[in-house]
Each structure stands twice: as C-alpha cells, then as structure tokens.
Amino acid sequence: MRQPTPVRPLHGLRILLVAALPGFGTALPGMIAALPGALAAQEHRMMGHGEHGEAGGWRMPPMSAAMPMVPGLENALPPVRPFLIGDGMDPAMFPAAEPGRRVVVADGDTLDMDVSVVRRTIGGRDYAMLGYDGQYPGPLIQADRGSRIMVRVTNRIQLPTTVHWHGIRLENRFDGVAGLTQDPIAEGETFTYEIDVPDAGMFWYHPHMREDVQQDLGLYGNLLVVPPNPDYYGPSHREELLLLDDILIDDQGLIPWGEEAPTHALMGRFGTVMLTNGVDDHRIEVRTGEVVRFYLTNVANTRTFNVRFGNARVKLIASDVGKFERETWVESVVIAPAERYVVDVRFPEAGEVGITNTIQAVNHFRGTFYPHEDTLAVVSVNGPEIDDEVAQAFDELRENRDVIEDIEPFRALLGKPVDLELVTTVRVRDLPVPIVASMEADTFYVPPVEWNDGMPMMNWLSTGTQVTWILREPASGRENGDIDWRFRVGDVVKIRVFNDPESFHPMNHPIHIHGQRFLVTERDGIPNTNLVWKDTTILPVGSTMDLLVEMSNPGSWMLHCHIAEHLHAGMMFVFEVTEE
C-alpha cells in the first residue's frame, strides 16, 4: 500500500553552483584562546539548545557541555528555512522500512525500485525517512560482470530525485546527475536506468540531488558486481556488508536540514548516532575461526571512519573498482565518504568483538586531541573453532596477477609529467563575525582530517548560501563550473590535486570522478607501490596527490568533492570525454 507523501517542497536544487563570492583575508595573527571573551565560561546545556530553544523550527545540534559557546552566536540561526520530511506528522502513518534484501538481477532483466517515505526506528524512536523499495539500506543489487541490467525507478516522494550509480563506468545518460545527464525524476515519474557493469567489485547508488538530505535520510544501497572467476577473491566463509553512516539526532529527534541550501557547509553534517546498515545496534554472528569478507561502504555525508575490528587480523583485498595488486595486512581501514574497501577478517577466538570507529578527535577550543571510539557493530563469535582450508588460506597474502596485468599498460605512464592541476580552497561571505574571527584564529593548526565536528555550532550556522567550496585550476584561474576540460577516449591524464592549507578553513576532501577509473600514483611525492583502481580518494589538508585517469568512457562527467555539503557549496565541475 502506497502512503501519502506529505513533505514540503525542497528548493534550491542547484546542480552547478559557480557564483564567485568575495573572499575573506587569510588568517589573522592571534589565537582562539585570545579572542576577547571567547572562552568565557558560557557553557550551554548538553544535548540541548543553549539559548536557542526552538526558534522558527530550528534546534541547535547537540554540543558537548565542555565546549563553550562563542559569544555573539547565542541566538544565531542558519539563514535558511528548516526542513524535515513528514514534519509534524506521526511517523506511524508511514510503512515500516524493512532491512535491505539481496536482489540478483540477470543480464537483461529489469528491477523495479521506488523511492518512498518510510518509517525507521533508531534508538527506540520512530522517524519519517526515505527508502529505496521500502528498505534500509536499499536493496543489494547483484549482477554479473559484463551484464546489462535495468533499474526502473519510480519517485513516490515530493522531492525530485535521481539515482547515481557510483563508480560504475556506465553509459553517460544513465549516470544520474540531474541537469547534466537527465532531468530530475519528479513525483510520480519513472526513469529506467540501463546499467552496464564492466568492473567487478562493490559499488553503490544514491541520489545526485540534495544528497545532504536525501542520502542522509536513507537513500543509499550497494551494487555488487560479481566476477566471472570464482577465485577472483581468495576463499572466505561468508560475506557481510557494512554500510557506514551517521545521522544527526538530539533528544527531540532529527535536526532539520536546510531547505534552500544545506546547513553545515563548512565541515559537512556530522551525525551523532552511528548507523551500520541503517541501524544503531548492528550485530553479526560468526563461528569461531571463520573468515568473514566485509564489504565496507562509507555512505555518510562527511564523516571519514577509521574502522577497527578489535584485535582480529584484517587483510585488505580490494577497493572501489577492483582488487589491489597485492593483499596486505592492515591495522584498520580508513574510509572516506563514498569510498569502498573489501577486507577479510578472521575471528579466531570466541567472544564479542566490537567493530569500532577509533579516532583521535580534536577539540579546537581547548587545543587538544582526545581518544574517541564509536561502536559500529558487534561481532558475536561462537562455537567450535573452524580450522579448515579456508581458515588456513587466510594467512596467505595473494599477489593479484590479473590486476598487475590490467595495470601494466599504464605502468610506463605512472611517472609521466602532470597534465592538469587543481587546488582546493574555500570562500565565505556573510558569515557571522564571531565565526569568522574564531575560525581565522583557529587556522594556526588544521588537522589533515576532520574526524569529528569540533565546532558543531559554527558548522551548523554555515550554509551553502555563505560558503563556496572551490576546485580551482591554477593554470587558467578558473573555478568549479567554469573549468573546461576536454579529453578523448583513450587519453590517460595525470591530474595533480593540492589541498591548500592556507585557505579560510581547509578540510579534507574525498575527490570523486564519475564514469572513469583512476590510479593514485603519488601522495606528497611518495610513489604508490600497491595500486588499485579507484573512483574516490581522500585528499588530506596540505597534501598533494597525483591521479592517473583512464578516460575510457565518453560523455559529460562530474568531478567533485563527495562531502555532500561541499558538493552543494559548489565544489564540482563537468569534463567532457569524446569518442576518438
């Protein structure tokens, strides 16, 4: 039974934001502790709303009581309207979402998938959210490599939407970018995607319109492309998906999103509740000694995770668009938004193992790092130990000759000169003065990666109307949508990207290229000795990375930051690849 979709329209569906905004100066000498009264003991209520209460539908995101309120911001609100799906309605009127199911789609077959409002329960509380086919996450679509599958998407919500098939080198017109490769799918409309899957691996799908809202509300799912060779990966006993997400909730419910433009434009919208496969209490049962293959996908708006599997050994096998040249042991998996990693983990001892996000969070106000750990899932290990051939094979690290041979034609090009350069930076305008002052002072040290929201209030108050994140081409001076790159199929292009640390508020960026695959050949001048095809990769603050992009797929494609709020704050452009 289809339910009504009583949502208010969401405006501001900008696809290309290219407006030039007046810049602010570079960092002022000073320090945050020296701001007049900045650290006066103006602590506000935890999990609360400070002096705000509810104002015009806004509630301030939860902030630690230990974090002082910046003077002058006590009554500030984001300069956009708040938006919640099903606002004011009882979530019980929407159908309960079901856990995501695996759907095997054969070559030439069509899968029907709708987008609808669903009821989700998180932390014992019901929320109106969104789902693909009424599921959380969306269905795990499984297809054989080399096949063509069709997915017929019907939009049953009032928000226009699209589906982007992340990492798939498919035909351009099915890439799902509203305003570029297709018109938005309006309420009641249907769009059929024809998806060629030339590469084996774990991919994912999500909207390419207001991802900061739609994806955050649950519109994401995996697409598993199965290789023809059953020995493509080493042996394992079982497979598990881990779609990693977070959602911003306080004691009253979901913190509203911005209607005309995203809030949290500076750092992206960090959540307060960790979700794995859509739930906050994900559990996995395994037998002692089992080798479990985990497919990790980061579907969060902005959070980069550092995933640990307790003391279990972790073998890194593959990433976005295939396997590594060589398997390696890793202590943890650092996964930025939109990246995927495949690991094998063996659990040799009975008991419970926490899969955790283990980080050193930063407290910008106190100038300290502190250890922080979130439990993403709990693995319950039981039963007599399995010590079969699969378990024994786990100790071996494979060299993947097929990958090495696939990369071989590109090896001579790894050291080629840089063809094109990009610099990432940011401009702001009309931010409240206390935010500008605080952040300029704070730029004496910016960490390579923001693992947590160290300034929740200032971040919340910054919107896509005030912040422009920028990809700048130094050679031309062009920025974002004005960048004009044209290639031919067969071109192999080396792109150097530098994350400028001297900007107003530098931050790490997961850089995503649509429709093509690339190798990260160097980071900070250090050659990469274990290559893997990627479609998204993290660029820490101050770092430089070289990407060798195989232009194999004709069309108009996007290059952008995959922090949802940065994307909508302009950090994107389109490049053309034409047939030879």
Partner 1 sequence: MMGEMLTLALLAGLAPGSGDPSPGIPPGTCALPEAFGPGKAVHAPLPASAAPVEAPAYYAFPVVSTRRLPGTGLAAGLGEVTFADSPFGVTLAEDGSYLLDVWLSVERLMAPREGVYVGWLTTPDLDQVERIGPLADGGPLRGRARWNKFLLVVTLEPADDPEAAMWTGPVALRGMSRSGQMHTMAGHGAFEQENCAAYGYD
What is the smallest separation between the CB atom of 434 and partner 1, expressed in angstroms? 17
359 binds partner 1 (CB under 8 A): yes
If the CB atoms of residues 240 and 325 are measured against partner 1, the closer one turns out to be 325
Choices 42-50, 142-150, 390-398, 440-448; region in contact with partner 1 by CB under 8 A:
440-448
The DSSP-derived string for 291-307 is EEEEEEEE--SSPPEEE
Rounded Cα gap, residues 203 and 163, in angstroms: 13
Q: Residues 1 to 60: which contact partner 1 by CB under 8 A? A: 29-34
Contact assessment for residue 160 and residue 186, using Cβ atoms and an 8 Å cutoff = yes
What is the smallest separation between the CB atom of 339 and partner 1, expressed in angstroms? 9
If the CB atoms of residues 212 and 339 are measured against partner 1, the closer one turns out to be 339
If the CB atoms of residues 468 and 503 are measured against partner 1, the closer one turns out to be 503
230 binds partner 1 (CB under 8 A): no
If the CB atoms of residues 129 and 507 are measured against partner 1, the closer one turns out to be 507
Locate tokens 């995927």: which residue?
340
Choices 194-202, 292-300, 316-324, 345-353; region in contact with partner 1 by CB under 8 A:
316-324
Which H or E run contains 212? helix 211-214
Rounded Cα gap, residues 325 and 404, in angstroms: 6
* Structure tokens, 36: 């007049």
310 binds partner 1 (CB under 8 A): no
523 binds partner 1 (CB under 8 A): yes
If the CB atoms of residues 14 and 364 are measured against partner 1, the closer one turns out to be 364
The HSE-up count of residue 313 (CA atoms within 13 Å, CB side) is 16
Long-range contacts of residues 125-129, Cβ cutoff 8 Å, at least 24 apart:
125/253, 126/91, 126/92, 127/91, 127/253, 127/254, 128/84, 128/85, 128/86, 128/89, 128/91, 128/94, 129/85, 129/97, 129/217, 129/218
Rounded Cα gap, residues 315 and 580, in angstroms: 40
Rounded Cα gap, residues 440 and 194, in angstroms: 48
71 binds partner 1 (CB under 8 A): no
Choices 9-17, 89-97, 242-250, 539-547; region in contact with partner 1 by CB under 8 A:
539-547
What is the smallest separation between the CB atom of 369 and partner 1, expressed in angstroms? 4
Best CA proximity match to 549, nearest among 557, 334, 219, 393? 557
If the CB atoms of residues 90 and 524 are measured against partner 1, the closer one turns out to be 524
If the CB atoms of residues 137 and 510 are measured against partner 1, the closer one turns out to be 510
360 binds partner 1 (CB under 8 A): yes
How many residues lie near partner 1 (CB under 8 A)?
55
The only residue of 75, 252, 328, 476 in contact with partner 1, by rule CB under 8 A: 328
| Farthest CA pair distance, the chain | 66
What is the smallest separation between the CB atom of 334 and partner 1, expressed in angstroms? 4
What is the smallest separation between the CB atom of 528 and partner 1, expressed in angstroms? 9
**What is the β-pairing status of strands 492-499 and 420-428?**
parallel
Using CA atoms in the order 14, 467, 432, 474, what is the torsion angle rounded to 10 degrees?
-150
The only residue of 161, 319, 462, 480 in contact with partner 1, by rule CB under 8 A: 319
Judge residue 310's burial from the number of C-beta atoms within 10 Å of its C-beta, 0-12 exposed, 13-18 middle, 19 or more buried. Answer: middle
Q: How many residues does the chain have?
A: 580
If the CB atoms of residues 39 and 350 are measured against partner 1, the closer one turns out to be 39
If the CB atoms of residues 346 and 364 are measured against partner 1, the closer one turns out to be 364
The only residue of 157, 437, 461, 520 in contact with partner 1, by rule CB under 8 A: 520
What is the smallest separation between the CB atom of 538 and partner 1, expressed in angstroms? 5
Locate tokens 């899969």: which residue?
355
Q: In the beta sheet, which residues pair with residue 205?
A: 165, 221
Contact assessment for residue 528 and residue 520, using Cβ atoms and an 8 Å cutoff = yes
447 binds partner 1 (CB under 8 A): yes
The only residue of 170, 537, 572, 574 in contact with partner 1, by rule CB under 8 A: 537
The only residue of 57, 146, 542, 554 in contact with partner 1, by rule CB under 8 A: 542
What is the smallest separation between the CB atom of 503 and partner 1, expressed in angstroms? 11
If the CB atoms of residues 108 and 529 are measured against partner 1, the closer one turns out to be 529
If the CB atoms of residues 135 and 298 are measured against partner 1, the closer one turns out to be 298
The DSSP-derived string for 231-247 is TSS---SEEEEEEEEEE
Q: What is the three-class DSSP state of 392? A: helix
* Structure tokens, 162: 């699209």
What is the smallest separation between the CB atom of 205 and partner 1, expressed in angstroms? 24
**What is the β-pairing status of strands 351-363 and 368-382?**
antiparallel
Locate tokens 């550092």: which residue?
306
What does the angle CA 214 – CA 454 – CA 561 come to, to the nearest 5 degrees? 45
Choices 74-82, 186-194, 345-353, 542-550; region in contact with partner 1 by CB under 8 A:
542-550
If the CB atoms of residues 286 and 541 are measured against partner 1, the closer one turns out to be 541
Question: Other C-beta atoms within 10 Å of 404: how many?
Answer: 14
The only residue of 54, 349, 397, 444 in contact with partner 1, by rule CB under 8 A: 444
What is the smallest separation between the CB atom of 545 and partner 1, expressed in angstroms? 7
Applying CB under 8 A, which residues contact partner 1? 29-34, 304, 306, 316, 319, 324, 328, 330-335, 358-360, 362, 364, 366-369, 371-372, 444-449, 451, 501-502, 520, 523-526, 529-530, 532, 537-545
